[in-house]
Amino acid sequence: MNINQLLKLFDALNKEQKQLLFNILLEILRLDDHEKKAELIEMMEDFKEDLLYCDENTNNEKIYLTQAELAKTFDIPEETVQQIIVRNGVKPSKKWSKPYYDFDEFKEYYYKETRRKE
């Protein structure tokens, strides 16, 4: 990848996406642990289709996650997930006996909260 490709990649993103991509790239480049790098490469290859074509979901299926899964997905403590849910009145789906939350709804509130803290 050359600098023009990198700039073009960032140009297509909004401010939050640029910051997230920058942090991810920096973290990857700083990895000294070859085992962790190999693990990350393997994970990216395994999820290539999901990562590259996730917005081509034609049947508009919603994604629901537990609080623990949301915490892991956003790399935040479960307590923070609970605070965001309570502050924004996010209701769990009634489809299952265990509480599952709409990923897109939670994501929206999560990014609003992180922007507010900046």
The model's pLDDT over 45-74, given as tens digits with 9 standing for 90+, comes to 877 777 676 665 555 678 899 999 999 999
Look up residue 8 and give its two tokens: 């073009």
Query: Is the pLDDT higher at 88 or at 34?
Result: 88
> CA-CA distance, 89 to 94, in Å (whole number)?
15
The full set of domain ranges for the chain reads: 3-56, 64-117
Handedness of CA 92, 93, 94, 100 (dihedral sign): negative
Q: Give the CA-trace dihedral at 17, 118, 40, 47, to 10 degrees.
A: -40
> CA-CA distance, 110 to 118, in Å (whole number)?
13
How many alpha carbons lie under 13 Å from residue 35 in its C-beta half-sphere? 0
Q: Is the pTM of this model over 0.75?
A: no
pLDDT tens-digit series, residues 5-36? 878 878 878 888 888 888 888 888 888 888 88
- Asked whether the beta carbons of 74 and 110 are under 8 A apart, the reply is yes
Query: Is the pLDDT higher at 116 or at 70?
Result: 70
Q: Collapsing DSSP states into helix, strand and coil, what is residue 117? A: helix
